Structure 1
Amino acid sequence: MPVRSPFPDVEIPEVPLFDFLFSDFGGRDAEPALIDGSSGASISFAELRGMTERIAAALAERGIVKGDVVGIFSPNTPYYAAVFHGILRANAIVTSANSLYSPGELAHQLKDSGAKLLFTASPFLERAAAAVEQAGLPADSIIVLDGAEGYASLRDLLASTAEVPAADVVPTDTAVLPYSSGTTGLAKGVILTHRNLVANLVQMDGVMKVGPETRILAVLPFFHIYGMTVMMNHGLHRNATVITMPKFDLPEFLRIVSEYKIQRLYIAPPVAVALAKHPMVDQYDLSCVDVIFSGAAPLDAELGNAMGKRLGCTVLQGYGMTELSPVSHAMPDDRPDLDLNSSGFALPNIECKLVDPETGEEVGPGGRGELWVKGPNVMVGYLNNPEATAATLDDEGYLHTGDVAEVTEEGVFSIVDRVKELIKYKGYQVPPAELEALLLTHPKIADSAVIGVKDAEGEEVPKAFVVLQDGAELSADEVMAFVAERIAPHKKVRVVEFIDVIPKSASGKILRKDLRAREAANA
């Protein structure tokens, strides 16, 4: 039997995301919506709304119409939110790009999504310009947030005196196209509608106690659906103040938490390691922190509990994926008693199944099965990829997550394994197929396979098994350097083993379980 959320269903407002977030600030119009943690520069709720309207007008003036796609390739700043919602207010679609992307990876996303323009920041301009050229877009399709000679800037857009376009989107229209590797393979555009995003914000309300007095630190990137929905948009929705950081730096992170009296931290597990173990933490007053919520990858309970004890705060964990907008499960703020190895309950309006991946039979409490999720936050599908969509979404509307879970009689879910092949490195997705394809472009490599292995700190990292061409010589360092020069840093191969043959099935599929068994035997 499907397991429904223990929470009552919530009503999903039938409005576009912009209207949902910007129609009423609860009397906090003059209060800061976003603060740059480094400089202290802030944007009030009213200023943010005005900026989004000017950006929308300027985009319309540049020819952007309903359904056009506009990219954002930038670190976290308060202006990210202004541009994001300015694009939506222009009736267009946002495609958010990983700030670590190489020009080739960014070019793929720009081409695949059909992006017409790209917002970036000056430190990223060289990569952005190369990507735009590779994607076949004109150089003037780049807008530099902080300005650069020869390019339009955000200031130029804000100076526009054009008319704000008439609002012309409905809840079922596409709002964002973040890119995800899903359960396997190369990155794909995930079609999320305005209703998907609004639904997930309302679903989160019942378990995440965020209000106008809450200060949230946004160090996880806004380009990632976790940062986009849970930090940026849920903060706006609850009229909270969001303090931004462009990247994680422990001393700066601790300073901002202490100085701005941050009450709520959203993190990925690598940050938990620092907060639980680094001696520098003791130099700062972090008594302001009430809740630390971990997502993007599994958090070890022992580590999480050590962090919570050290900071004197509640530590919670949730589960989600880009295809779920992203949150489907979470430990509620008022249930710190739950096992921290769990992901808590399904959110309101969600029902789940656990299905044995071998037999296709449903599994009840105490058993293990692939987690299937159904709800208003489930994506429409993958852009231009009906095969991948059909493999992930079934006819009943269940999204097959590729993760193996257990559930208790109370409805508490725990993720225990993965059916899918995706590697999670510090919360970032690393698709083995992409690395394997890249390795095969090396003239001295005959075959390859990539799996995730644990490093000395317990972090999952990509390991490449490499078969050399006859008579060829190549070192592990040379293999890793070859990949590192062509890929985003988080996707780098970090371990290499040379073997005689890659184990494969009769159909040619790589038998990763055999490689994992080999790894376990050698451990």
Structure 2
Amino acid sequence: MPVSSEQSDFTVPTDDLYGYLYGSLAPEDEDRIAVVDLAEGTESSFATLRSHVDAAAGWLARYGVRTGDVVALQCPNSEAFIVAAHAVWRLGAVLTPVALLSTPETVAHQLQDSGASLFLTIAGFGDGGQEAARLAGLADDRLIQLDTSQGLKQMYAERNTPPAVSFDPSTHLAALPYSSGTTGLPKGVRLTHENLVANIAQIENVGVVTPEDTVYGILPFFHIYGLTVLANAAVRLRAQLVTSPRFQLDTFLTAHEEHGITFTFIAPPVAVALAKHPAVDGHDLSSLRGVFSGAAPLDDELARAVEQRLGIRVYQGYGLTEASPVTHTNTADSLSRGSVGRPVPGTEHKIVDPETLAEIPVPEDDALSAAGELWVRGPQVMAGYLHNDAATADALPGDGWLRTGDLAQQDRHGDVFIVDRLKELIKYKGYQVPPAELEALLLTLPDVADAAVVGAVDATSGEEIPKAFIVRQHPAEGDNRTDQEIGAAVMDAVAGRVEPYKKIREIAFISEIPRSATGKILRRELRSRL
């Protein structure tokens, strides 16, 4: 039987996104600070933010943007991003957010594939935006740079009133983020207003953020994680959002100290820094009460190391772009920090044998279930992929279920433990070796600052073996051990704590683990070094 949320009475609000974010703005909240933009050195109240969104929407409407049009947005974390995105939704247009480090060719592909008729970006990116627009065949006047005198400042100054629009939130598209899905090249994920409103309401129902919180906004807004929990949910929850365009540890720590940050959404690499980096000790983080980790699995031992060092609560959740993204949260003090918890309200899951597609039952004792693919079902699940019926059919097998492509186990309470991506498993002598398990173990070792594990081909046997790429922790004074000595010690330490077939067989030391903007390990880059 599928496992359902304990809050089964959840009802999806019928509002569109703009209405859900701003329609309930109470008079007593209007003068409270909504966004503090660190890069610009500005702050705006909720009333001002709403006014800016309306003015931008009115200007875009006068410029020709209509309900159903697709608008691309490439912009760092900032108030400008929030205003532009919410203005697009105010008009019933569709937002396709663009990753900041994308090449002009990649941006052009997204512009063409999504059918974007307007490209909002910033002059600070240099000529990349113009090149992407040219490659996509957009006319010069279809690119607008938000940070110039003809951008948002002009929109605010003209104070155009946006038109009334009407559409069905349950079917009308709101966003087209691009994701590789469970496999393959990036695809446009079709998310409706109902999908995104449902997920914001689910996050609100979980209750980890309150209007009294000051939230640090470092997760990239162009990614669905940052878009939903920061650019959208923080506004809906009337929390104060402090935006930062990029992650730098010292800036991160200083901002927490100076702005009294109480809650932060992070990815596991930030947890590693909070647990291990010496710079943390030089800052007063006493205002921080909790962090919420997502985008990749977080190990119990690492999470508890952060809790013990900072005296805070570490929450963990799970989701994917195709689910808007949040499907599970772990908010129980008694539960292992390594679990992503149970389904959010209105959501259910089951674990399925990837070969037979038979459901793996919830165990009756204290042992974890067999591992299988995690399937989820709920109102936040996408409408499908854009222009890709085959991929849609594979990801959405029927009856509302979404195949996540992640290998997971569950306990007798239905709490989920993510093992790894199905496609990332290493096959050693017929055994399955999850890289994430070894990475979590490596991060507990004092000599390891960061680590990643991939499958490599053994030169002698021709078989796939686990190979670790390791960033060394800064050595203590007088520690003159060589990489070879450190590597041997690390391999011995791991071998003493795992089954024989999971032992690390090779180690390479590198200066930095390649990661995506949300902290996911870019294993393909590591494999290219084999």
Does residue 362 of the first structure (1) align with residue 394 of the second (2)? no
- Structure 1, unaligned stretches of length 5 or more? 426-431, 433-449, 459-488, 499-523
SS at match of 2:194: helix
The 2-side partners of 1:391 and 1:452 are apart by 29
Per the alignment, do residues 393 and 451 of structure 1 end up closer, same or farther by CA in structure 2, a change over 3 Å counting? Answer: farther
SS at match of 2:525: coil
Contact 1:6 1:411 in 2 (8 A): no
> How far did 1:95 drift?
0.4
Does residue 348 of the first structure (1) align with residue 348 of the second (2)? no
Match of 1:501 in 2: none
Matches within 5 A, 1:148-159: 152-159=150-157
Per the alignment, do residues 73 and 261 of structure 1 end up closer, same or farther by CA in structure 2, a change over 3 Å counting? Answer: same
> How far did 1:373 drift?
0.5
Structure 1 stretches of at least 4 aligned residues deviating more than 4 Å after TM superposition: 421-425, 450-454, 489-492
The 1-side partners of 2:352 and 2:211 are apart by 41
Amino acid at match of 1:224: H
> How far did 1:497 drift?
5.6
Contact 1:10 1:202 in 2 (8 A): no
Does residue 273 of the first structure (1) align with residue 272 of the second (2)? yes
316, 333, 337: which one pairs with 2:334?
Answer: 337
Amino acid at match of 1:380: A
Match of 1:246 in 2: 245
Amino acid at match of 2:220: P
> How far did 1:249 drift?
0.7
Amino acid at match of 1:307: V
> How far did 1:272 drift?
1.1
SS at match of 1:271: helix
Match of 2:257 in 1: 258
Matches within 5 A, 1:485-500: 493-496=525-528
TM-score (norm 1): 0.80
Contact 2:328 2:341 in 1 (8 A): yes
Matches within 5 A, 1:176-325: 176-325=175-324
Amino acid at match of 1:290: R
Match of 1:508 in 2: none
> How far did 1:163 drift?
3.7
The 1-side partners of 2:40 and 2:300 are apart by 35
Does residue 413 of the first structure (1) align with residue 416 of the second (2)? yes
SS at match of 1:155: helix
The 1-side partners of 2:529 and 2:174 are apart by 43
> How far did 1:168 drift?
2.0
Match of 1:445 in 2: none
SS at match of 2:206: coil
SS at match of 1:25: coil
The 1-side partners of 2:523 and 2:125 are apart by 18
Contact 1:10 1:349 in 2 (8 A): yes
Contact 2:39 2:78 in 1 (8 A): no
Match of 1:146 in 2: 147
SS at match of 2:29: coil
387, 392, 400: which one pairs with 1:389?
Answer: 392
Contact 1:215 1:243 in 2 (8 A): yes
Per the alignment, do residues 491 and 139 of structure 1 end up closer, same or farther by CA in structure 2, a change over 3 Å counting? Answer: farther
SS at match of 2:191: strand
Match of 2:168 in 1: 170
373, 376, 389: which one pairs with 1:373?
Answer: 376
Per the alignment, do residues 137 and 305 of structure 1 end up closer, same or farther by CA in structure 2, a change over 3 Å counting? Answer: same
The 1-side partners of 2:25 and 2:8 are apart by 26
Contact 1:125 1:144 in 2 (8 A): no
Per the alignment, do residues 39 and 124 of structure 1 end up closer, same or farther by CA in structure 2, a change over 3 Å counting? Answer: closer
The 1-side partners of 2:57 and 2:166 are apart by 12
Match of 1:17 in 2: 17
Contact 1:192 1:379 in 2 (8 A): yes
Match of 2:135 in 1: 134
Match of 1:444 in 2: none
The 1-side partners of 2:311 and 2:38 are apart by 23
Contact 1:183 1:421 in 2 (8 A): no
Amino acid at match of 1:165: P
The 2-side partners of 1:206 and 1:283 are apart by 36
The 2-side partners of 1:495 and 1:106 are apart by 25
Amino acid at match of 2:157: A
The 2-side partners of 1:17 and 1:406 are apart by 34
> How far did 1:123 drift?
2.2
> How far did 1:418 drift?
2.0
How many residue pairs align between the two structures? 443
Amino acid at match of 1:33: A
Match of 1:80 in 2: 81
> How far did 1:137 drift?
0.5
Match of 2:36 in 1: 35
Contact 1:217 1:243 in 2 (8 A): yes
> How far did 1:102 drift?
0.8
Per the alignment, do residues 136 and 240 of structure 1 end up closer, same or farther by CA in structure 2, a change over 3 Å counting? Answer: same
Per the alignment, do residues 156 and 144 of structure 1 end up closer, same or farther by CA in structure 2, a change over 3 Å counting? Answer: same
Per the alignment, do residues 109 and 421 of structure 1 end up closer, same or farther by CA in structure 2, a change over 3 Å counting? Answer: farther
TM-score (norm 2): 0.79
Per the alignment, do residues 91 and 206 of structure 1 end up closer, same or farther by CA in structure 2, a change over 3 Å counting? Answer: closer
Contact 1:315 1:336 in 2 (8 A): no
The 2-side partners of 1:362 and 1:4 are apart by 15
Match of 1:462 in 2: none
Match of 1:65 in 2: 66
The 2-side partners of 1:169 and 1:76 are apart by 29
The CA deviation string for residues 153-194 of structure 1, in whole angstroms up to 9 with x for no partner, is 121222335441112232121001111000001100101011
Contact 1:69 1:115 in 2 (8 A): yes
Per the alignment, do residues 162 and 234 of structure 1 end up closer, same or farther by CA in structure 2, a change over 3 Å counting? Answer: closer
The 2-side partners of 1:372 and 1:244 are apart by 33
> How far did 1:270 drift?
0.9
Per the alignment, do residues 137 and 235 of structure 1 end up closer, same or farther by CA in structure 2, a change over 3 Å counting? Answer: same
Match of 1:44 in 2: 45
Amino acid at match of 1:169: F
Match of 1:461 in 2: none
The 1-side partners of 2:412 and 2:38 are apart by 43
The 2-side partners of 1:193 and 1:451 are apart by 43
Compare 360-369 and 375-384 and name the one that shifted more.
360-369
SS at match of 2:359: coil
SS at match of 1:108: helix
The CA deviation string for residues 412-437 of structure 1, in whole angstroms up to 9 with x for no partner, is 11111222459999xxxxxx9xxxxx
SS at match of 2:96: strand
> How far did 1:395 drift?
1.9
The 2-side partners of 1:357 and 1:410 are apart by 22
The 1-side partners of 2:233 and 2:304 are apart by 26
Match of 1:478 in 2: none
Contact 2:385 2:391 in 1 (8 A): yes
Per the alignment, do residues 157 and 339 of structure 1 end up closer, same or farther by CA in structure 2, a change over 3 Å counting? Answer: same
Contact 2:121 2:143 in 1 (8 A): yes
Contact 2:265 2:293 in 1 (8 A): yes
Contact 1:215 1:240 in 2 (8 A): yes
The 2-side partners of 1:496 and 1:361 are apart by 36
The 2-side partners of 1:216 and 1:379 are apart by 27
The 1-side partners of 2:68 and 2:241 are apart by 29
